[in-house]
């Protein structure tokens, strides 16, 4: 599928991109190549193939929640940019 220079300029304007004049033709060639690949994918027979959310089969890799001890206050405050003996100090927001 070919794409014209005017179509590229229209897309660039819609996307509010800044593209150098010298790059427009190269960009058009790249977009045309991508659209050609999409046309090739349309030729694949997908009849009988169920729709999926992912191309691969993934398992949930999360671990079970386990209750654990808390971080001691001194260790939690050790890396704070500003803290007193009991808490983090942050700018007042009103």
- What's the structural domain count of the chain? 1
Residues in a beta bridge with 88: 83
Tokens of 74: 């001194």
Tell which residue, 35, 45, 52, has the closest CA to residue 1: 35
pTM above 0.85, yes or no: no
* In-domain check, residue 23: yes
Cα 80 from Cα 89, distance rounded (Å): 8
Q: Are 29 and 22 in contact (CB under 8 A)?
A: no
Structural domain harbouring 21: 5-42
* In-domain check, residue 30: yes
* In-domain check, residue 70: no
Q: Are 65 and 73 in contact (CB under 8 A)?
A: no
* In-domain check, residue 24: yes
How much is the mean pLDDT over the chain?
A: 88
Question: 37-83, pLDDT tens digit by residue?
Answer: 999 999 999 898 888 877 777 777 788 888 888 889 989 999 899 99
């Amino acid at each position: 599928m070919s794409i014209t220079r005017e179509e590229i300029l229209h897309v660039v304007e819609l996307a509010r991109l800044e593209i150098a004049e010298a790059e427009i033709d190269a960009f058009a060639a790249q977009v045309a190549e991508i659209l050609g690949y999409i046309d090739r994918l349309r030729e694949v027979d997908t009849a009988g193939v169920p729709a999926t959310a992912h191309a691969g089969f993934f398992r949930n890799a999360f671990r079970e929640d386990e209750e654990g001890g808390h971080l001691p206050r001194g260790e939690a405050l050790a890396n704070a940019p500003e803290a007193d003996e009991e808490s983090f100090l942050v700018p007042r927001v009103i």
